[in-house]
Amino acid sequence: MADNSENKSGSGDCGIVIRDDWPGYSLDLFTYPQHYSEDLECVYIPHGVIMDRTERLARNIMDDLGDHDIVVLCVLKGGYQFCADLVERIKTLNRNSSKTLPMSVDFIRLKSYLNDQSTEDLHIIGAENLSVLSGKNVLIVEVIVDTGKTMKTLLNHVEGFRPKMIKVAGLLVKRVPNGPGCLPDYVGFEIPNRFVVGYALDYNEYFRDLNHICVISESGKQKYKV
């Protein structure tokens, strides 16, 4: 992947840029659940690379927000793994850094996808409990941003509770037409417009049990279509 990406470290950037011609890695080079052997095209971002990039994002967040109390708002369901790993790495920095970042964690669920298409029908579950964000520094943690419309809607909703500050960490930003409407402050990877699964990203609730981020095959889409 190194030959097909550009590393732009630091916060407020577009992260590691994976170019359109990146073919991914052969599935034969990695271990993964064999019940998905016919459902994937390739390993797009290996789990170890995700972990290393997440560690760097944690350091950037600590550099920017250290010594401030924050509320981490995890966007479910897809964001649970990224959020857990990011928080764990911030906790490690808390133990081994001159700065500290006291955290509490809250959760919200967004649902807008049917099969591989984002719909206009956005459901925000848990929104009624966000009054705890009033006057707080908020870090929204989302696993993927494509058009940015969903994130913009969520930001508008969170702003209604009058937090002191809002930052967004997104593991993936997808290059799509007319997007993103909202770019995260901390970005792991910028990826082409391909439908990816794994690392808690799903296709109709399947593939959350896959550690790597992979490209789903056309046969996989048909197999799990609803």
Catalytic residue among 39, 85, 116, 146: 146
**Cα–Cα distance, 131 to 2 (Å, whole number):** 43
- Strands annotated E in the chain: 5-7, 16-18, 40-45, 70-76, 103-114, 117-125, 137-145, 165-174, 186-191, 196-197, 213-216
DSSP annotation of 101: -
From the list 217, 224, 218, 215, the residue with the least C-alpha distance to 46 is: 215
Residue 146 annotated to the active site: yes
Total Cβ atoms within 10 A of residue 177: 6
Establish how many alpha carbons lie within 13 A of residue 158's alpha carbon, considering only the half-sphere containing its beta carbon. Answer: 30
Element (H, E) at 218: helix 218-223
The phi, psi pair for 81, rounded to 5°, reads: -70, -45
- 165-174 and 186-191 strand pairing: parallel
Question: In the chain, what is the straight-line distance between the N-terminal and C-terminal CA atoms, in Å?
Answer: 33
**Cα–Cα distance, 22 to 32 (Å, whole number):** 20
Total Cβ atoms within 10 A of residue 140: 23
So which residues are the catalytic ones? 146
